[in-house]
Chains A and B, each alone.
Chain A
Amino acid sequence: KQEVTQIPAALSVPEGENLVLNCSFTDSAIYNLQWFRQDPGKGLTSLLLIQSSQREQTSGRLNASLDKSSGRSTLYIAASQPGDSATYLCAVDSNYQLIWGAGTKLIIKP
Chain B
Amino acid sequence: DTAVSQTPKYLVTQMGNDKSIKCEQNLGHDTMYWYKQDSKKFLKIMFSYNNKELIINETVPNRFSPKSPDKAHLNLHINSLELGDSAVYFCASSQEAVRTSGAGGNTQYFGPGTRLTVL
Question: Are A51 and B45 in contact (CB-based, < 8 A)?
Answer: no
Q: Hey, which chain A residues are within 8 Å of B56, CB to CB? A: 96-97
Question: Are A103 and B41 in contact (CB-based, < 8 A)?
Answer: yes
Question: What are 21 residue pairs bridging A and B, where the CB atoms are less than 8 Å apart in the complex?
Answer: A31-B106, A34-B105, A34-B107, A36-B110, A41-B112, A44-B110, A45-B110, A46-B109, A87-B41, A89-B43, A93-B105, A93-B106, A96-B56, A96-B97, A97-B48, A98-B43, A101-B42, A102-B40, A102-B41, A102-B42, A103-B41
Interface residues, chain A, with chain B CB atoms under 8 Å away: 31-32, 34, 36, 41-46, 49, 51, 87, 89, 91, 93, 96-98, 100-103
Which of under 10, 10 to 19, 20 to 34, or 35 or more describes the interface residues of B?
20 to 34
Q: Hey, which chain A residues are within 8 Å of B107, CB to CB? A: 34, 46, 49
Question: Are A98 and B41 in contact (CB-based, < 8 A)?
Answer: no
Q: Which residues of chain B in 78-113 are interfacial with respect to chain A, using CB atoms and an 8 Å cutoff? A: 90, 92, 97-99, 105-113
What is the 8 Å Cβ interface bit string for chain B, positions 30-50, against chain A (1 contact, 0 not)? Answer: 000000000011111100100
Q: Hey, which chain B residues are within 8 Å of A97, CB to CB? A: 45, 48, 56
Q: Hey, which chain B residues are within 8 Å of A32, CB to CB? A: 105-106
With contacts A98-B43, A102-B41, A103-B41 known, what are 9 further pairs, Cβ within 8 A? A31-B105, A36-B110, A41-B112, A44-B90, A44-B92, A46-B108, A49-B107, A51-B105, A100-B43
